[in-house]
Amino acid sequence: MKRIFVGSILLILAASLWGCGRRAAEVVVYTSEDQVFSEPILKDFEKETGIQVKAVYDTEESKSTGAMNRLLAEKDNPQADVYWANEPVRAEILRQRGISAQYVSPNAKGIPDNFKNPEGQWTGFSARARILLVKKSLTEKPRSILSYTEPRWKGRVVIANPLFGTTTAEIAALFIVWGDNKTKTFLDAMKRNQIRISTSNGESADLVASGEFDFALVDSDDGVSRMKQGKPVEVVFPDQDKADVGSFIVPNAVVFIKGAPHPDNAKKLIDYLLSKETERKLAFAECAQIPLHPGVETPPVVRRIETIKTMKVDYAEVAKKMQEIQPVLKTWVGY
Amino acid sequence: MAKRIVLSSVLAVLIVAGLLPVLAMGVKSIIVDGRFSLENYKALLTLGRAQTLISHSVALSLLTTFFATIIGLPLGILFGKTDLPFGKLLIVLFAIPLLIPPYITAISWFYILGREGVIGRWLGPSLAELTSKWLFGLPGCVLILFSTFLPIVILLTVTYLKTINPRLEEAGRLVSDWPGVMRSITIPLILPGVLLAVMLVFLLSLGEFSVPSFLRYNVFPVESFTQFSAFLNFSAATVAAIPLAIVTFFVLALESYFLREKTYQVRPVHGTSFTERIQLGRNRNWLFALSALLCFVIVILPSLVLIVQSLSVNAYSLAIAKAGDSLIRSLLYAAVGASVLTVIGFLSGYLVQTRALPFWQTTDSLTIFLFALPSTVIGIGLISLWNRPWTNFIYATPVIIIIGYVAQYAAISSRITVSMLTQIPPSMEEAAQVAGAGWFRRMALIVAPLAKRGLMAAWLVGFIFCVRDTGISMIVYPPGLDTLPVRTFTLMANAPAGLTSALCVIMICAALVPVGILTAAFKARML
C-alpha cells in the first residue's frame, strides 16, 4: 500500500515535470486538417527549423469535439500559438470571438485577396473545391448544382447533411450570391426532387462510387481519392460558364492566436504553412489540395486555381450567414 | 481524527476531480451572454428531435441490456457452475471486447459488414448493401455494445456464483433436480449481482458516444457531442447531457433502494471442500459448440479481420512510426492512473464498506454518477475549471488526464475494494485497535495487506479502463502528449485501412499484453 502510494506520487511528479519542462524552441498548433495530411508537414517544419511542434489534432470527418472547442474554452488562457483550420469559416468564427490576432506573413503575398482576411486575422492556403462527383457511365453529365433540381435526376442524387462542414458553408455562400429567395426555392426544389441526405461528404462520395446514386456535391479531395481508388467516377467543376456562380472554394486557413505563448515560433510556422513548398506538398499528397499561389507545381489530377471559375464570396459574410440560416437548414433537414 | 481527515480528503478529491467540473458546466448551461437564462433548457424541451433522441437512447440501452443479460446470464452459469470444457478460456476470450475501446470493435465490424467489407467481397454487393444499412443503425450499435458489455454480465454472474454456500444447493438437490435448484436457490441468490450487471450495462450503453457516433445513430451523447463540435455551443451540449444525468440518478436511486446492501456482500465461500458442478452430460458438447460459436462471431472474427487487414509490409512499421510515442504515453498514463485510482478506490471503498463517516453513501453515489456521465461533459468541465494561468502546471501537463481518469473511473476501484473488504473480518482491525495501533498503522499493516489481492485486481482493472479511455483523453490531452486511442481516432480519418487496422491491433495488444503479464506475475507472487 505504502509502495503504491509513494510510487503514485513519484509517477505524478514525473509526469508533471515531463509536461512542465517546456522547451523554449517549441510551437503549439491545433489543427482540424486530418492528421495523416497535416502531420508530415509539421514534421518537415520541425526538421527544417529545429522548433519542436506540439500538436492537437482533430478530424472533420468524425465531427469530434477537438481543436476548435479547446480554442474557445481556452480563450482566457491560450495554450495554442497557431490554429490550422481545414476551412476558413472556423478561422472567421475565431476572429469574431476575439481569439485570433493579426499577422500578415510575407509568404501570403501572391495568394488572391478573397482567400485572406484583409486585416491579417487569418490567411488561406491550399484549397479544396466543391465539385460534383459524377458516375462515369452517365451519358449526359450534370454541369451545375442546379442539376439537383432537374426532374431527370429525381431520387438519384445525394448531398451531405447541410448542417455540418463544407456543405453548410456552400449553402450559406449561395444565400449570399443568389439571395435568400432563390436559395430557399432551390432548397425546396431539391427536396421535391427526392434528394438523399448522407451524413458526410465521404459517404456521399462512396454512394456515387458504388453506383447507388448518379452524382453528389462533395469536396475535391473526396472525388480525387475515389478516382485514385479506381472507382468509376469523374469530377465535374460545376457552374463554370461565364454567367454561372462558379465553384465554391474551401481553403485551409492559418490563424495566429491572440496571447500565443510562443509568438515568434508561431510566426515562423505560419510563414512555413503559407509557403509555396507547403502548397506543393499538399497538392501531391493524398488530399490533392489546390495551391493558391500562382505557379506552384501540381500533379495532373489537381487543377490550378487560375483555371477554375471560383465563387466570389466574402468568407466573413459566409460565417455570419451560416449562423443565420441554421433554423432554415434545421427545418429543411428535419432536425 | 486521522481517519476522518483522510477519508474526508477522498471525498474532497472526488468533488474537485469530478463534481466541480460538472457543476462548472451546469453553471455555464444557465448563463447565456453573461446573464441567467433557461433558454437552453427550453430549447431542449421544444427540440423537435428530443423525442427521437429519447427513443433512440432508451431503445439502444434497453436492447443492449436485454441481450447482454439473456445471453450473459446463461453463459455465466455455464462457465461458473457447470463442467463445460474450456470454461476459463472462454471467459477470458469473451472479456476481450471490454478491454478495448468500443469504437475499435465498431471499426472491425465495419470491415466485415460495410459496403466494401468481407461480406461484400464474398457474397456480393447487394447483400453488403443490406448488411451496411443494418450496421449503420440500431442493430449495428446493439451488436457492438452487446459484445462490449456482455463480459460484465458473465463476470459478475461467475463472481456471485462463487458466493453461494454449496450446502444450500446440496440441500435443494435432495428434493429437486438441478433446474429446480437453479430456479429456486441459485438464481435468486445471484440476482443482486445480475441486477448490478444489468444496471452497469444499461448506464454504460446510455452514456456511450463513440459507437453511435461512428455508426451515425443519434442518441443523447451524440447530440451532446454535436452541440460541442458542430454548433460550438457548450451550454446546449451540457443541457443535452441532462436527460442522461436524470436517468442515471433514477437508476442509482433504484439501486440504492433495492440492491445496495445486497451487492456489497460479495463474499466468496471459503472452507467448503467441494462445490458441486452441474454435469451437462450429453448436452456438454453442443453447449460448448454454441458458446464457442458465439465467441468466434463476436470476439475472434472481428479481431481476425483487423489482423488480416493489417498484414501488409509497411502497416506495422508505419503504425509504430506514427504512434509509437503515443503507445508509450498510454501505458505510462494508465499505470499512473491505475495507481492513483487504487489508492482513491481503496480509501473510498473502505469508507463505504465500514460506513466510517456519515457521507459514505454520498461518496459511493458520486463515484457511480461520474462513472455513468458522458466523458464530454467531464472533459469540457475540466477545461473550464482548470485552464487558468495559475493552474497551468495541472492543465498543461498529463496531470489533467489523470484527474479525468480519477473522476470517471473511481467507481470501479472503489467497488472492487468494497468486495474485497467484506471478506476481511472486522475483528482483525478491531484487535489491532485494542492493542493500541493507530488508524494509519492499522490501514498499512492490517487492512491493506489483507486486501492485497483486491488492490491488485483494482489496479489491473483501473489500468485497463485508463489505457482504453478515449473520451476524456481526447478532450484534455496536452498538446503533443496524446494517447494511443486518441492517436488512432485522429489518424483514422483518410488513413489507409492497413494502417488503421494495425493501430487497432496494437491498441488491443497494449491492453491485453500488460494485463496478461501482470496477472501472471501477481498469480506467481500469490502462490
At B289 the three-state DSSP class reads: helix
Judge whether B340 and B405 are in contact, CB under 8 Å: yes
Task: Report the CATH fold assignment for A22-127+250-304.
Answer: D-Maltodextrin-Binding Protein; domain 2 (3.40.190)
In this complex, is the C-beta atom of B110 within 8 Å of any C-beta atom belonging to chain A? no
- Asked if residues B428 and B450 have their Cβ atoms less than 8 Å apart, the reply is yes
Coil, strand or helix: which one is B30? coil
The alpha carbon of residue B360 is apart from the nearest alpha carbon of chain A, in Å, by: 22
The interaxial angle of helices B220-229 and B375-386, nearest 10 deg, is: 40
Interface of B with A in 376-395 (CB under 8 A): 376, 379-380, 383-384, 387-389, 392-395
SS3 A314: coil
> What is the C-alpha separation between B345 and A138, in angstroms, rounded?
64
- Give the domain A128-248+323-333 fold: D-Maltodextrin-Binding Protein; domain 2 (3.40.190)
Say which residue the cell 463540435 belongs to: B229
A17: closest CA of chain B, how far (Å): 8
Which chain B residues touch A7 with a CB distance below 8 Å?
339
The whole-angstrom distance between A126's CA and the closest CA on chain B is 17
Query: What's the pLDDT tens digit per position in A244-261?
Result: 999 999 999 999 999 999
* A134-148, B227-241, B315-329: least confidently modelled range: B227-241
pTM > 0.90: no
Instruction: Tell me which of 3.90.550.10, 1.10.3720.10, 1.20.210.10, 3.90.45.10 is the CATH number of domain B49-270.
Output: 1.10.3720.10
Q: What is the pLDDT of residue A65?
A: 45
User: For residue B31, what pLDDT is reported?
Assistant: 77
Chain A neighbors of B492, CB-CB under 8 A: 59, 62
Name the DSSP letter for residue B451. Answer: T
How does pLDDT run across B91-112, given as a tens digit for each residue? 989 998 988 888 888 888 988 9
Is the predicted pLDDT of residue B230 greater than 70, yes or no?
no
Within this chain, domains B49-270 and B324-475 share the same CATH topology = yes
A22-127+250-304 and A128-248+323-333 have identical folds = yes
| B455: closest chain A residue by CA | A1
Kindly report, residue by residue over A127-161, the tens digit of the pLDDT.
999 999 999 999 999 999 999 999 999 999 999 98
Provide the residue ranges of all domains of chain B, joining segments of one domain with +: 49-270, 324-475
pLDDT of residue A19: 47
State whether A5 and B343 contact (CB < 8 Å).
yes
At a CB cut-off of 8 Å and minimum separation 6, what does A137 contact?
A232
The mean pLDDT values, 10 residues at a time, for chain A of 335 residues are: 53 51 77 89 96 85 63 88 92 92 95 94 96 93 95 92 87 96 96 88 85 92 88 94 94 96 96 97 93 93 92 92 86 77
Question: Would you tell me which residues 28-47 of chain B have a C-beta closer than 8 angstroms to some C-beta of chain A?
Answer: none
End-to-end C-alpha distance for chain B, whole angstroms: 38
- Its CATH class, for the domain covering B324-475, is mainly alpha
Of A37, A58, A54, A57, the C-alpha closest to A46 is A54
Considering CB atoms only, which of A22, A56, A69 is closest to B229? Answer: A69
Three-class DSSP category at B254: helix
Query: For the residues of B292-340, what is the DSSP string, one character each?
Result: HHHHIIIIIHHHHHHHHHH-STTHHHHHHHHHHHHHHHHHHHHHHHHHH
Q: What is the ipTM of this complex?
A: 0.72
Residues of chain B positioned with their CB less than 8 A from the CB of A11: 332, 335-336, 339
Q: In chain A, what is the straight-line distance between the N-terminal and C-terminal CA atoms, in Å?
A: 53
Per-residue CA distances from A100 to A104, A115, B406 (Å)? 12, 16, 34
Here the contacts of B445-449 (C-beta below 8 Å, separation 24 or greater) are B447/B350, B447/B421, B448/A1, B448/B346, B449/A1
A8 touching B (Cβ < 8 Å): yes
Confirm or reject contact between A164 and chain B (CB < 8 A): yes
Nearest CA in chain A to B125: A210
Cα–Cα distance between A87 and A83 in angstroms, integer? 11
Q: Which of B226, B340, B494 has the CB atom closest to A36's CB atom?
A: B494
Q: Which residues of B touch A62 (CB under 8 A)?
A: 213-214, 489, 492-493
Chain B neighbours among A 203-262 (CB < 8 Å)? Answer: 206, 210, 212, 225
**Helix or strand or coil: residue A301?**
coil
B336 CB neighbours in chain A (<8 A) are 8, 11-12, 15
What phi and psi values does residue A61 have, to the nearest 5 degrees? -60, -45
Per domain, the residue ranges of chain A are: 22-127+250-304, 128-248+323-333
**Which residues fall within 8 angstroms of residue B146, CB to CB, at 6 or more apart?**
B64, B67, B68, B71, B298
Alpha-carbon distance B391 to A76, whole Å?
13
- Give Cβ neighbours of residue B524 (< 8 Å, ≥ 6 apart): none
**With an 8 Å Cβ cutoff, are A77 and B231 in contact?**
no
Short-list B169, B418, B172, CA closest to B269? B169
